[in-house]
Amino acid sequence: MLPNENLHGKLWSIVVYEEFYKSLGNRFLVAGDYNTKHTYWGSNLITYTGRTLFNSITKIGLRVISSKEPTYWPFDKQKTRDVRDFGITKNISREQVDVEASLDLSSDHSPTIVSIRIS
């Protein structure tokens, strides 16, 4: 199950996020469409789900990696482009990670390219 999926019809709670990230071990990178908004990773606003994820990340000491460039390009002109695709890391130095937004648009989301330098 990915973090943006519902758990028995309910939104993910801080506890569920913590269990998910703790299950990944001592070092990881998880990236994808979190479908949640918070200014911390570059979104235009903060939603309930964004605040929940941010509080979980902060509580267990994880890092967000984001280009802070829009990754969501809605077809509906009533909606606004935003950052919904990003990564979360544990025990990977920010100096080892490069994040780049790509404008290769094959859907309403553009890819984010993450490179990790291994030393």
Counting Cβ atoms within 10 Å, is residue 16 exposed (0-12), middle (13-18) or buried (19+)?
middle
Q: CA-to-CA distance for 22 and 62, rounded, in angstroms?
A: 11
Q: Quote helix, strand, coil % in the chain, to nearest 5.
A: 25, 25, 50
CA distance 67 to 41: 8
Quote the CA–CA distance of 50 and 41 in Å, as a whole number.
10
Of the listed ranges 9-13, 41-45, 89-93, 114-118, the one predicted with least confidence? 9-13
Query: What pLDDT digit, counting tens, does each position of 15-56 carry?
Result: 888 899 999 999 999 988 888 889 998 888 898 889 999 999
Distances (CA, A) of 108 to 39, 65, 67, 71, 105: 20, 21, 17, 8, 7
Q: Does pLDDT of 8 surpass 60?
A: no
pTM: 0.76
Ordered by where they begin, the domains of the chain are 14-116 (3.60.10.10)
